[in-house]
């Protein structure tokens, strides 16, 4: 693993750019990407960064510079990827629940598309027939993932075309002579167990013989990263070995060897991100001592939305005597980041850093309570660059009709 950013570096960035501040370590993203390519060196693989985790164009440019591809969940994300300089051939759009017009727009961009409903597959067939090779997102009916909110492959999930509807899929393909080049599944996020991916592959092996023009199999994202000490993580080398074995044992009956695609989000950017806040207020009560920071779930929603754990460090006083604190925000609604957490003594004005803030941190932020979204900084080879300025009042009223 690449070196973490030091407390001194983070403090100096907080002083220079102000807080709250998101900081991303580009070299850590590179190290994570290289872990994947090294582990899968013996399988024909492509990694599409699931940019819904963090879409800043400078992060996308960095992913491009290290040889990655991009997976998008909206046509606007695809446009951001193109803005970042990606070739359309390296951009994948895995759609869900969208109007057909958005698929038409994606088609006009020349990017790869995974279609996730029979209805859109039919419309696609009618309009494009065999002329534009396309992928299908399937629902494998596998329960997996860190919690139900981030599980997507189970038999009550809205995502993908249920694999038990294969007959209907094949009828549409035959009717319009569709060229299906990719089969996609994504079972969820925070998946530690390698066998979940193997189960998914097994579901696909059963149906692959029906897809004569298939070129790739897309196993989605969801690799688990550790959020707290002692947390497990997906064993990537073991996964690579099992994927290789599975494909070696199941050569494509229709000839060409299939390429394996993945769409990692958290794995690439989660631990690369640091969210720096400053303590506004200390409040002692009978039950706990509150440390109220200059942020809230408007900036980092994961603790309140998923009960997610983020490690918090007091970088202003790392060696201080440990006490219990409840870390809250300044939002006019309960916004607890951590209840009764042991941290080195906190004083008003201290900088508290939330770790693993790169994935679904800034990206899920909002202007709730009419507060500004934070600035973002990227550090690469020791050099820091501002990659998004902090909101101003003008940003809050930009689209309001006054």
CA 79 from centroid of its chain's CA atoms: 17
Q: Does 265 bind ligand LLP (CB under 6 A)?
A: yes
Residues 284-303 that bind ligand LLP (CB under 6 A): 302
Q: Which of 95, 157, 189, 316 touches ligand LLP by CB under 6 A?
A: 189
CB 238, min distance to ligand LLP, A: 17
Q: Does 264 bind ligand LLP (CB under 6 A)?
A: yes
Q: Which of 306, 309, 368, 372 touches ligand LLP by CB under 6 A?
A: 306
Select the span of 11-19, 29-37, 204-212, 220-228 touching ligand LLP (CB under 6 A): 220-228
Which C-beta is closer to ligand LLP: that of 140 or that of 222?
222
Q: Does 116 bind ligand LLP (CB under 6 A)?
A: no
CB 77, min distance to ligand LLP, A: 11
Q: Does 71 bind ligand LLP (CB under 6 A)?
A: yes
Neighbours of 226 (CB within 10 A): 15
Q: Which of 28, 112, 123, 266 touches ligand LLP by CB under 6 A?
A: 266
Place of tokens 């290289």: 34
Q: Return phi, psi of residue 196, to 5°.
A: -60, -40
Q: Does 50 bind ligand LLP (CB under 6 A)?
A: yes
Of the residues 1, 332, 401, 402, only one is catalytic, namely: 332
Do residues 73 and 92 touch, judged by C-beta distance below 8 A? no
Tell me the HSE value of 238 on the side-chain side, using a 13 A CA sphere: 11
Residues 319-348 that bind ligand LLP (CB under 6 A): none
CB 67, min distance to ligand LLP, A: 18
DSSP string covering 73-129: SSHHHHHHHHHTT--GGGEEEE--S--HHHHHHHHHHT-EEEE--HHHHHHHHHHHT
Do residues 107 and 135 touch, judged by C-beta distance below 8 A? no
Q: Which of 125, 135, 200, 220 touches ligand LLP by CB under 6 A?
A: 220
Rounded Cα distance, 9 and 266, in Å: 23
- Tokens for 36, please give them: 């994947």
Q: Does 150 bind ligand LLP (CB under 6 A)?
A: yes
Select the span of 101-109, 120-128, 265-273, 394-402 touching ligand LLP (CB under 6 A): 265-273
Total residues contacting ligand LLP (rule CB under 6 A)?
Answer: 20
Q: Does 376 bind ligand LLP (CB under 6 A)?
A: no
Rounded Cα distance, 167 and 170, in Å: 5
Select the span of 75-83, 199-207, 262-270, 376-384 touching ligand LLP (CB under 6 A): 262-270
Which C-beta is closer to ligand LLP: that of 141 or that of 288?
141
Rounded Cα distance, 309 and 356, in Å: 10
Q: Which of 106, 291, 359, 377 touches ligand LLP by CB under 6 A?
A: 359
Rounded Cα distance, 264 and 18, in Å: 31
DSSP string covering 146-166: SSGGGB-SSTT-SSSEEGGGH
Q: Does 186 bind ligand LLP (CB under 6 A)?
A: yes
Residues 6+ apart with CB under 8 A from 18: 375, 390
Do residues 214 and 254 touch, judged by C-beta distance below 8 A? yes
Instruction: Identify whether 332 is a catalytic site residue.
Output: yes
Rounded Cα distance, 63 and 289, in Å: 42
Which C-beta is closer to ligand LLP: that of 302 or that of 355?
302
Q: Does 222 bind ligand LLP (CB under 6 A)?
A: yes
Q: Does 263 bind ligand LLP (CB under 6 A)?
A: yes
Rounded Cα distance, 318 and 325, in Å: 15
Rounded Cα distance, 267 and 50, in Å: 10
Which C-beta is closer to ligand LLP: that of 90 or that of 316?
90
CA pseudo-torsion sign 173, 174, 179, 183:
positive
CB 218, min distance to ligand LLP, A: 9
- Sketch the per residue contact string, 8 through 47, with ligand LLP: x for CB under 6 A, - otherwise: ----------------------------------------
What does the binding site for ligand LLP look like in residue numbers (CB under 6 A)? 50, 53, 71, 94, 150, 186, 189, 220-223, 263-267, 302, 306, 359-360
For the annotated catalytic residues, the residue numbers are 332
């Amino acid at each position: 693993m690449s070196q973490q950013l030091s407390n001194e570096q983070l403090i100096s960035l907080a002083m220079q750019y102000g807080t709250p501040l998101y900081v991303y370590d580009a070299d850590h993203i590179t190290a994570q990407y290289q872990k994947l390519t090294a582990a899968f060196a013996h399988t024909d693989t492509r990694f599409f960064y699931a940019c819904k985790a963090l879409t800043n164009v400078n992060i996308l440019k960095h992913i491009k510079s290290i040889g990655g591809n991009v997976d998008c969940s909206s046509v606007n994300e695809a446009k951001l990827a193109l803005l970042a300089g990606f070739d359309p051939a390296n951009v994948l759009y895995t759609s869900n629940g969208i109007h057909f017009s958005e698929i038409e727009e994606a088609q006009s961009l020349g990017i790869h598309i995974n279609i996730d409903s029979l209805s859109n597959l039919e419309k696609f067939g009618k309009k494009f027939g065999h002329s534009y090779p396309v992928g299908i997102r399937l629902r494998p009916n596998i329960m997996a993932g860190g919690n139900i909110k981030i599980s997507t492959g189970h038999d009550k999930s809205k995502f993908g075309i249920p694999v038990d509807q294969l007959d209907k899929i094949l009828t549409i393909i035959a009717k319009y002579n569709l060229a299906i080049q990719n089969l996609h599944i994504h079972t969820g996020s925070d998946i530690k167990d390698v066998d979940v991916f193997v189960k998914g592959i097994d579901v696909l092996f059963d149906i692959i013989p029906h897809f004569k023009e298939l070129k790739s199999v897309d196993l989605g994202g969801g690799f688990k990263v550790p959020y707290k000490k002692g947390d497990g993580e997906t064993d990537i080398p073991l996964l690579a070995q099992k994927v290789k074995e599975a494909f070696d044992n199941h050569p494509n009956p229709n000839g060409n060897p299939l390429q394996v695609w993945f769409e990692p989000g958290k794995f690439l950017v989660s631990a690369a991100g640091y969210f720096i806040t400053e303590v506004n207020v200390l409040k002692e009560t009978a039950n706990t001592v509150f440390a109220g920071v200059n942020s809230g779930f408007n900036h980092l929603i994961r603790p309140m939305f998923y009960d997610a754990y983020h490690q918090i460090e007091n970088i202003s006083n790392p060696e201080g005597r440990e006490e219990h604190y409840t870390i809250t925000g300044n939002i006019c609604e309960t916004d607890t980041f951590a209840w009764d957490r042991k941290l080195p003594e906190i004083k008003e004005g201290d900088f508290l850093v939330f770790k693993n803030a790169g994935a679904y941190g800034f990206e899920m932020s909002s202007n709730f309570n009419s507060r500004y979204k934070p600035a973002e900084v990227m550090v690469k080879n020791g050099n820091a660059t501002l990659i998004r300025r902090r909101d101003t009042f003008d940003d809050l009223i930009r689209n309001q009709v006054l």
